[in-house]
Structure 1
Amino acid sequence: MNILVMGGTRYFGIHLVKDLLAQGHNVTIATRGITKDSFGDKVLRIIFDRTDFDSVKNVLSEKFFDVVYDNLAYCSNDVKCILDIINCNKYIMMSSTSVYEKHWDTMEEEFHPLNKKLIWCTRMDFPYDEAKRQAECALWQDYNYINAIAVRYPFVIGKDDYTKRLYFYVEHVIKEIPMYIDNIDCQMGFIRSDEAGTFMAFIADKDYSGPINGSSFGTISIREILDYVTEKTGKEPVLSEDGEKAPYNCEPEYSINTSKAGKLGFKFSNLKDWIYQLIDYYIEML
């Protein structure tokens, strides 16, 4: 298939492109021409600013793709800027489990984009969770004629995680930096960055439309993470209300139901089979 990937030059987007190439697809990556990639002549490249309608129109108006991956749609205007122009058989948008009021066994049906008022907005108009909801509202309300999938992930982590959110906890324990954590015992879900890319590549040719969850099996709490770092290093976390606010603060206790992905034939990894190895990697770095 002829596939366009927006957001294919870093993080799980790199893994997505690698998997698509391994499957034999023809891949074009769209960038602003700033971030270099390591794909060489294995991919085609086009340059535009996805938030600029004229920039997108000038590049995409005469092109067709079997599948378009949009890893960069953060708000309703982002969706509009692409879908008013793009010509494709399938559109796969990177969404987030932030669209939910999360709890144990959170399922796709618990956020209904058709039941929420659509507001055309920019990325700065709302917090991340609401902006993502509006992106989905735009997709399902104004572009429901398009065969589309919205992939909803919890926190994506891995050795290539540029956000360094999990790294924050490891670093603060080892360097004895005070931190403020408001949900230390809440169980939370995660997905590894390479698996996030692999699942997105997996659904390229699947007969499915609508929202779909992705997450590693199992959950873990911040206390379990801190206890592991202490066990490995002998350093105790310094917890203080005056400390630096931790990245996963305000997250509730939850798990993500992935039965729909399972019915398509995809089996996610077990979180605790790999997260401690990732923590070991961070410990070694420090």
Structure 2
Amino acid sequence: MKDVCIIGGSRYFGKRLIVLLRDAGIDVTVVNRGSSSPPPGITHLIADRDDEEGFERALADRAFDVVIDQVCYTPLQAAAAQRLFRDRTRRYVMTSTIEVYGPAGSDGIPPASPGTPVTEEAVDPKLWPVRTDLPWRDPRFLERHYGEGKRQAEAVLAQGAVFPFAAVRCAHVLGGGADDFTGRLDHYVQRILTGGEIVVHRESRPSTFIHEREIADFLFWAAGSDFVGAVNACSHGELDVTDICAQIAAHGTAQPIYRTVDSGGGEDAEVSPFSFEHYYGMDNTLAGRLGFTFSNTMDWFPGVVAEAVAVRGGAGR
């Protein structure tokens, strides 16, 4: 692997992945809309992936050993990627999501049972139906159907088979301090430290997680591997919202104040992040068999919390 193209993903764990590839002596090309620049030593192409002609002009005659697609959200984007990279790469890795296992938006996903982590076979991209007629370009529709968009994007790339394709189904990513890119962990830190209310499902379910450094390591490893198909990427061990809050509360005298809401009414926009009414435990056995060794969540989660508390506590004193 000498030449890698990364679509999007020049922030958060994507930036860490770029540095890992660059420091390994790999020529890295990043293609994004120009809102953020990659680190030094990286070829930067500016293009909007939804402008297929402009994207093709930006690529010119370049070809790559591997493409890592960090921002493929719809079957339309996946189909365009097939056309653009059909003769430009020998391997295509898509960063997918744990949300492909979420039952919201599809009758074809039965809710997983707590205590039985879901395996890759639960959603087979080679068999999943594709609906390109849906309004995928409508941001509101896409936001409501994020998991389905990812499922169908995987399906297009798997069923087209114009290049070897792997889908990395990434668990919920956590990082502390400056690495809390989404602000979801800080949501809890801020409320617990200030005595604010935390809204959770009455029966909140656990999920699997992964550290932002570990997912960067996993994508680096996946790019250099030769497996195809979907693979789950998560640390060992699960957390629910009370586990997260308990770790934060352990760093001070304040205790979380919960307000519970009933499940069953669909996704409640008021509910805090990481409070899930459906179980989101993933089985990472396949990745282990393929040769990647994951950490245990509690090996790194307390440190992430300590960083997040230090940032918020320092800012408030």
| TM score, norm. by length of structure 1 | 0.92
* 1:167 matched to 2:186: yes
Task: Describe the superposition over 1:92-114 as per-residue Cα deviations: whole angstroms up to 9, x where unpaired.
Answer: 00111211144422111110123
* 1:215 matched to 2:234: yes
Show the counterpart of 2:18: 17
Q: Given the superposition, is the C-alpha separation of residues 205 and 232 from structure 1 closer, same or farther in structure 2, using an over 3 Å criterion?
A: closer
Show the counterpart of 1:149: 166
Separation in structure 1 between the aligned mates of residue 130 and residue 149 of structure 2, nearest angstrom: 11
Aligned residues: 283
Separation in structure 1 between the aligned mates of residue 162 and residue 202 of structure 2, nearest angstrom: 41
Separation in structure 2 between the aligned mates of residue 225 and residue 85 of structure 1, nearest angstrom: 42
Q: Given the superposition, is the C-alpha separation of residues 183 and 84 from structure 1 closer, same or farther in structure 2, using an over 3 Å criterion?
A: farther
Deviant stretches of 4+, over 6 Å: none
SS, match of residue 45 in structure 2: strand
Tell me if structure 2 keeps the 8 A contact 1:179–1:244. no
Tell me if structure 2 keeps the 8 A contact 1:184–1:222. no
Separation in structure 2 between the aligned mates of residue 148 and residue 208 of structure 1, nearest angstrom: 8
Show the counterpart of 1:64: 63
SS, match of residue 51 in structure 1: coil
Q: What one-letter code is carried by the residue in structure 1 that aligns with 2:237?
A: G
Separation in structure 1 between the aligned mates of residue 276 and residue 204 of structure 2, nearest angstrom: 12
Per mean C-alpha deviation after superposition, the further-off stretch among 47-56 and 227-236 is: 227-236
SS, match of residue 36 in structure 2: coil
Show the counterpart of 2:294: 268
Q: What one-letter code is carried by the residue in structure 2 that aligns with 1:59?
A: A
* 1:149 Cα offset (Å): 0.5
Separation in structure 2 between the aligned mates of residue 6 and residue 180 of structure 1, nearest angstrom: 36
1:246-257 equivalences in 2 (<5 Å): 246-257=272-283
1:2-41 equivalences in 2 (<5 Å): 2-37=3-38, 39-40=39-40
* 1:16 Cα offset (Å): 1.1
Show the counterpart of 2:265: none
SS, match of residue 4 in structure 1: strand
* 1:221 Cα offset (Å): 1.9
| Structure 1 runs not aligned, ≥5 long | none
SS, match of residue 189 in structure 1: strand
Show the counterpart of 1:131: 149
Task: Describe the superposition over 1:253-273 as per-residue Cα deviations: whole angstroms up to 9, x where unpaired.
Answer: 342211221122210111001
Tell me if structure 2 keeps the 8 A contact 1:56–1:81. no
Show the counterpart of 1:194: 213
Task: Describe the superposition over 1:226-254 as per-residue Cα deviations: whole angstroms up to 9, x where unpaired.
Answer: 22322321112222258952012334234
* 1:132 Cα offset (Å): 0.9
% identical equivalent positions: 28
Separation in structure 1 between the aligned mates of residue 56 and residue 192 of structure 2, nearest angstrom: 49
